[in-house]
Chain A
């Protein structure tokens, strides 16, 4: 399976600022996904990022708050904009290697907003 890395692994940010999270894969993949895991909760899909097209956002998530870039087949970024304490979560990227819809996850970015 693909090896996925995320940067930063964790961060503490001030209210009103923005943070960009990077996701790097060691092989070319078509589909990448961004999830949010709020404290003590399950994973919620934020958006699907395909290279060469605009990201597709799930209900409740908007591009102005969570802009996503997908410049090539091995890299994506998620920005959490104008942060508030409610944005404190673990943000995970995942990739679909195209083998029967199996997704593999990165280690996550733990974000705390003060």
Chain B
């Protein structure tokens, strides 16, 4: 079965600083990979996704993520964070078998932005 690990429970960065959130997955085939963001009291918003092709994917709000097969990683990055980026970030892996479209989520990383 697939699994997702987000090793950082909580990260604090200064506004304007760069950000990298780590995500490692375990899956026997080529995964579908996703990053979602959850602001306080809100549902989940899709930031970006990877299916195939270019391993560097661009998302909304200035986020990007890089798929590294050799490291089984899909880390999320942003060059300069804004106070509004404070939220919970979830990495997820999807099964690629047609008709069995399940997502497995990591435990999340809570991002705090300090002035």
Chain A interface residues (CB < 8 Å from chain B): 1, 4, 6, 31, 33, 41-45, 48, 92, 94, 96, 100-108, 110
Contacts of B34 in A (CB 8 A): 102-103
- Across chains A and B, the number of contacting residue pairs, with CB separation under 8 Å, is 51
Cβ–Cβ contact A43 & B51, under 8 A: no
Given known contacts A41-B107, A101-B95, is B32 in contact with A107 (CB within 8 Å)?
no
Cβ–Cβ contact A102 & B43, under 8 A: no
Cβ–Cβ contact A101 & B43, under 8 A: no
Chain B interface residues (CB < 8 Å from chain A): 32, 34, 36, 41-46, 49, 51, 90, 94-96, 101-103, 105-108
Contacts of B101 in A (CB 8 A): 31, 96, 101, 103
A54 to chain B, nearest CB (A): 15
Cβ–Cβ contact A107 & B46, under 8 A: no
Given known contacts A42-B106, A45-B103, is B44 in contact with A101 (CB within 8 Å)?
no
Partner of A42, one of B46, B51, B105: B105
Cβ–Cβ contact A48 & B102, under 8 A: yes
B47 to chain A, nearest CB (A): 12
Cβ–Cβ contact B42 & A107, under 8 A: yes
Contacts of B41 in A (CB 8 A): 110
Cβ–Cβ contact A92 & B43, under 8 A: yes
Cβ–Cβ contact B43 & A1, under 8 A: no
A-B complex: 9 closest residue pairs judged by Cβ atoms: A105-B44, A107-B43, A101-B101, A105-B43, A42-B105, A101-B94, A108-B43, A43-B105, A42-B107
Bound-state CA distance A106–B45 (Å) is: 9
Cβ–Cβ contact A100 & B32, under 8 A: yes
Bound-state CA distance A113–B106 (Å) is: 26
Q: Which residue of A lies closest to B103 (CB)?
A: A103
Bound-state CA distance A75–B94 (Å) is: 23
Cβ–Cβ contact B42 & A108, under 8 A: yes
Given known contacts A43-B90, A107-B42, is B32 in contact with A101 (CB within 8 Å)?
yes
